[in-house]
């Protein structure tokens, strides 16, 4: 089949193969009167060569079917595009029997052949009517062709869009997975750094506690013993029996007073650095002693609500709780202007709860907004760390009516078992 040779021509064409001469001329006139173009073809082979989308119908005569090129036309008609079924208007010879060519042609094309047979002689209105029917049929076929084409284009567009979408999704997915990898790496790195920092903090706090314990012992065993020795020497001087001159007596008393005052101070400082009660009598006694001393010196009234002493607490928990109480009360004294404070310590099988509450002016909002991560001073940060290192939770609530420091620390299973 030739390509659409008249791309710009809207009207269809009718291929005519025989009759020649006058009949051909009449047919051509009828075809032209319908606004169609008649294309005379001298052979069936020529018809097959001329057929294109513009072809509206093919006029054939029965005699032309006797041609040896019938096979070429049959082949073409049997292999048309799915949408195409060119109407064939066949002028048969008058008579009861069809020619061999016609019979063969019809049987080759099969039941669905679009063939209209007009027995000659045929009147012009009959030709016109058949021609118009063929034209309408062909026009519907072209509509189907256009729809199929449109569908094909839409499918192609859809495929392209889907491919593009898939490509973009793949691109995005790979970008996301890269970002995800990067994020995971950063999270791991950050966790590692945090763990490292935590273990360093734990070491620093331990070293600090140990150092305080050592200084406390050195003070007690060193300066404390020296002062005790001096006091004993003074007592010995007094007990030697000799009457001292009044001036010496008063000097000696002054020396004894100073030595006693020094002993008291050394003991207080050494107790503050490391309360021996924490090891010997336990946490609650150490806190009672500390609070008593604190109240005396600060003139802040501190009430205590403590659970019964419990042996279930590990040394680490006791030290942490004592140091948190120390720091929280020091903050109350230094920053709050409170008159009263209250300490609560409660514990059950699994957890120890600690609260230190004051009725002071509260932590300024500007400090509180950065204070949650303990960046304003060492005190809050170290209270938080001590709690966190033991798997606990630390919090501060503060407003113009006062401040509450809250801590909860889990009691490890092993220490629970040990106490059973
Ligand atoms: N009970 C409180 N009442 C009012 N303000 C407080 C209280 N506790 C803490 N603050 C405020 O929070 C800040 C942070 O306290 P933090 O203990 O961390 O540091 P600091 O006491 O200033 O210094 P240090 O490092 O010696 O403890 C304080 O400077 C103070 O402004
Ligand atoms: Mg502080």
Q: How high is the pLDDT of residue 71? A: 87
Q: How high is the pLDDT of residue 11? A: 52
What is the mean predicted confidence (pLDDT) over 252-264?
A: 92
> Which residues surround the ion ligand 2 when the cut-off is CB under 5 Å?
331, 379
Residue-range definition of the domain harbouring residue 369: 275-419
pTM over 0.85: no
User: Could you report the per-residue pLDDT of 81-120, keeping only the tens digit for each?
Assistant: 889 999 999 999 887 788 888 888 889 888 777 999 999 8
How far does residue 264's CA lie from ligand 2's centre (Å)? Answer: 26
Please state the length of the chain.
Answer: 420
In a domain, 19, yes or no: yes
Q: For the chain, give the mean pLDDT.
A: 87
CATH number at residue 280: 3.30.565.10
Last residue of a domain, one of 122, 137, 160: 122
Q: How high is the pLDDT of residue 379? A: 87
pLDDT at 364 over 60: yes
Q: How many domains does the chain have?
A: 2
Q: Is the CB of 367 under 6 A from ligand 1?
A: yes
Q: pLDDT band at 191, cuts 50/70/90? A: very high
Classify 396 in phi/psi space as left (phi over 0), alpha (psi -120 to 50) or beta: beta
Q: Is the CB of 392 under 6 A from ligand 1?
A: no
How far does residue 378's CA lie from ligand 2's centre (Å)? Answer: 7
How far does residue 380's CA lie from ligand 1's centre (Å)? Answer: 7
pLDDT at 6 over 60: no
In a domain, 3, yes or no: no
Last residue of a domain, one of 58, 90, 122: 122
In a domain, 87, yes or no: yes
CATH number at residue 84: 3.40.50.2300
In a domain, 315, yes or no: yes
To test ligand 1's pocket by mutation, which of 340, 379, 397 has the most ligand atoms within 8 angstroms of CB?
A: 379
To test ligand 1's pocket by mutation, which of 327, 330, 331 has the most ligand atoms within 8 angstroms of CB?
A: 331
In a domain, 21, yes or no: yes
Q: Is the CB of 326 under 6 A from ligand 1?
A: no
Which has the closest alpha carbon to 105: 96, 374, 261, 114?
Answer: 114
Q: pLDDT band at 186, cuts 50/70/90? A: very high
Spell out the long-range contacts of 143-151 with Cβ–Cβ below 8 A and sequence spacing 24 or more. 144/83, 145/53, 145/81, 145/83, 145/84, 148/82, 148/83
Q: How high is the pLDDT of residue 57? A: 92
Task: Kindly give, in sequence order, each residue whose CB lies less than 8 Å from that of residue 128, ignoring residues fewer than 6 positions away.
Answer: 30, 33, 34
Q: Which residue has the higher pLDDT, 36 or 375?
A: 36
In a domain, 209, yes or no: no
Last residue of a domain, one of 122, 147, 167: 122
To test ligand 1's pocket by mutation, which of 204, 294, 330, 335 has the most ligand atoms within 8 angstroms of CB?
A: 335
In a domain, 367, yes or no: yes
In a domain, 299, yes or no: yes
Q: Is the CB of 379 under 6 A from ligand 1?
A: yes
Q: pLDDT band at 327, cuts 50/70/90? A: very high
How far does residue 382's CA lie from ligand 2's centre (Å)? Answer: 9
What is the mean predicted confidence (pLDDT) over 120-139?
A: 92
How far does residue 383's CA lie from ligand 2's centre (Å)? Answer: 9
pLDDT at 129 over 90: yes
């Amino acid at each position: 089949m030739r390509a659409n040779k008249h791309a710009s021509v809207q009207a269809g064409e009718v291929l005519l193969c025989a009759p020649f001469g006058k009949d051909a001329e009449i047919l051509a006139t009828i075809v032209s009167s319908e606004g169609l173009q008649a294309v005379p073809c001298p052979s069936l082979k020529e018809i097959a060569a001329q057929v294109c989308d513009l072809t509206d119908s093919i006029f054939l005569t029965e005699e032309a079917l006797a041609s040896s090129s019938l096979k070429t036309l049959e082949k073409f008609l049997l292999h048309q595009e799915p949408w195409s079924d060119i109407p064939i208007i066949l002028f048969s010879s008058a008579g009861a029997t069809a020619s061999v060519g016609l019979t063969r042609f019809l049987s080759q094309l099969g039941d669905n052949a679009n063939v209209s047979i007009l027995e000659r002689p045929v009147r012009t209105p009959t030709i016109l009517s058949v021609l118009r029917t063929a034209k309408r049929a062909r026009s519907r076929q072209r509509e189907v062709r256009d729809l199929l084409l449109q569908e094909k284009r839409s499918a192609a567009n859809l495929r392209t869009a889907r491919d593009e979408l898939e490509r973009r999704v793949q691109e995005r997915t790979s970008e996301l997975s890269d970002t995800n990898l990067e994020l995971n790496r950063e999270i791991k790195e950050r966790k590692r750094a945090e763990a490292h920092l935590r273990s360093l903090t734990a070491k620093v706090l331990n070293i600090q506690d140990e150092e305080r314990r050592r200084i406390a012992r050195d003070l007690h065993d060193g300066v404390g013993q020296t002062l005790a020795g001096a006091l004993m020497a003074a007592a010995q001087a007094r007990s030697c029996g000799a009457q001292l001159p009044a001036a010496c007596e008063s000097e000696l008393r002054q020396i004894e007073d100073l030595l006693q005052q020094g002993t008291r101070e050394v003991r207080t400082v050494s107790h503050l650095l490391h309360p021996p009660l924490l090891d010997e009598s336990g946490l609650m006694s150490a806190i009672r002693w500390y609070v008593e001393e604190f109240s005396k010196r600060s003139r802040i009234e501190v009430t205590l609500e403590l659970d019964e002493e419990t042996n279930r607490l590990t040394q680490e928990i006791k030290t942490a709780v004592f140091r948190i109480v120390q720091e929280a009360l020091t903050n109350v004294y230094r920053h709050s202007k409170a008159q009263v404070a209250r300490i609560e310590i409660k514990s059950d099988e699994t957890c120890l709860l600690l609260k230190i509450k004051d009725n002071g002016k509260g932590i300024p909002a500007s400090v509180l907004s950065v204070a949650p991560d303990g960046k304003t001073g060492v005190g809050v940060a170290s209270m938080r760390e001590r709690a966190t290192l033991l798997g606990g939770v630390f919090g501060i609530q503060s407003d113009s009516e006062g401040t509450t420091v809250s801590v909860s620390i889990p009691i490890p299973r092993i220490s629970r078992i040990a106490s059973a």
